[in-house]
Amino acid sequence: MSETIAWLARTDGTVVVGYGPFCETDAPPQSGVAFFKCGFFEIGGKPWKIPERVEHLSLRQFQEKFSNPSGKLEIDWETPDAVPFSLVFQEIMTCIGQGMIEKTVPVVTEQGKVRGGWAPSANMIAAIAAQRAPLHAYGWVDVDSGFAGATPELLISMRGLHLETMALAGTARQEDEAVFGVDEKEIREHEYVAQTLVAKLLDLGKLKRKGREVLRLGSIVHFLTGISVDLESKQEPLRLLHRLHPTPALGPLPRTDQTMAMLSEWRKRLGCPVEFGAPFGVWDHGAFEAVVAIRGLWWKGSEISLPAGCGIIEASRLVNEWRELRLKREAVKRFLM
């Protein structure tokens, strides 16, 4: 890639693509387009990135523009070591037993190297562009580094005085869907997220929580609960992001300075990229959408990182969580092959 590119596929089926150079600001423009990019623990500073040039494309136009006939990525993966995760898991279970936390989300990162030693940017965009709803393609590519993915998790969609979000938590293999639907541990993990979102949004207007349903994403399934709010007054995107991020789907419960510091230490020990699970969004003439940056790859040159997180609560078991992490990573690899 010879220039910085950012993109996000929105809920209305369009894709906003921005081309650099980007101007960094601490607030979005009154009119125009700005991308929101930050680290998981760093929402402040100058997270708004204003592109020099913008395109609004249909999903088909996006796929055609960024298709890459040269072929798929070929990556040599290194199997993650279970020992570091097992140590973090035991520390988390001790904290849960002591009443310090109810839930948190460590992240294990699988490392790989692109065969041939070249940067994967063009192939990466092509693979991500091929993904369709309910996945949202997103990405930030800067010459020979960046991140890109296709996430099912919408954090905020705000148009005028209408806001939508979702609780997305609980994971199982597609073939286990029947038992997944009555699994008390998975339901409890999901309810932590849904109830927290409701509590954080209830004072902003008329709230509607939909029923819990199963979201099917090929080889895996998740619990999904849609939540909408008819806002009483206009809300600034940054204030909403501070209020909602991180939800218990990626962050700790309760969310305090102490529990966030603990999660930060666990993520660093396990090699998690700083943007994994962070909000990534686009402001477009007053409308704002942000997704949660999961189900993606991070790279620098030919070195690839594939992170995945798992929600740990009192009922969690080490073997099951390790299996879930692999299941999530394999789902990402599948759309690259």
Lowest mean pLDDT among 68-72, 290-294, 320-324: 68-72
| Res 206: pLDDT | 98
- 215-223 average pLDDT score: 93
Above 60 in pLDDT, residue 38? yes
Pair 86, 93: CB distance under 8 Å: no
Pair 185, 316: CB distance under 8 Å: yes
Residue ranges making up the domain that contains 147: 5-334
> What's the rounded Cα separation, in Å, for the pair 69 and 58?
20
Mean pLDDT taken over the chain: 93
> What's the rounded Cα separation, in Å, for the pair 17 and 155?
19
| Res 199: pLDDT | 97
What are residue 241's phi and psi, to 5 degrees?
-65, -45
pLDDT band at 73 (very low <50, low <70, confident <90, very high): confident
- 210-224 average pLDDT score: 94
Could you tell me the CA-to-CA distances from 256 to 11, 38, 269 in Å, in that order? 31, 20, 20
Pair 279, 291: CB distance under 8 Å: yes
pLDDT band at 123 (very low <50, low <70, confident <90, very high): confident
> What is the pTM (predicted TM-score) of this model?
0.94
Closest by Cα among 235, 255, 239, 257 to 247: 255
Pair 306, 332: CB distance under 8 Å: yes
Q: How far is CA 85 from the centre of its chain?
A: 20
Above 90 in pLDDT, residue 36? yes
Above 90 in pLDDT, residue 318? yes
- 314-328 average pLDDT score: 96
Share of the chain above pLDDT 70, in %: 96
CATH number at residue 38: 3.60.120.10
Above 70 in pLDDT, residue 120? no
Buried-state track 121-135, b at ≥16 Cβ within 10 A, e below 16: bbbbbbbbbbbeebb
Query: Two tokens at 311?
Result: 């929600």
- 23-52 average pLDDT score: 94
> What's the rounded Cα separation, in Å, for the pair 90 and 157?
37
Sequence-distant (6+) residues with CB within 8 A of 34 are: 25, 28, 48, 49, 50, 51, 282, 283
Q: How far is CA 177 from the centre of its chain?
A: 23
| Res 30: pLDDT | 86
| One-letter-per-residue 3-state SS of 238-272 | HHHHHHHCCCCCCCCECCCHHHHHHHHHHHHHCCC
Above 70 in pLDDT, residue 82? yes
The domain tally of the chain equals 1
Above 80 in pLDDT, residue 116? no
Element at 23 (helix H, strand E) = strand 23-25
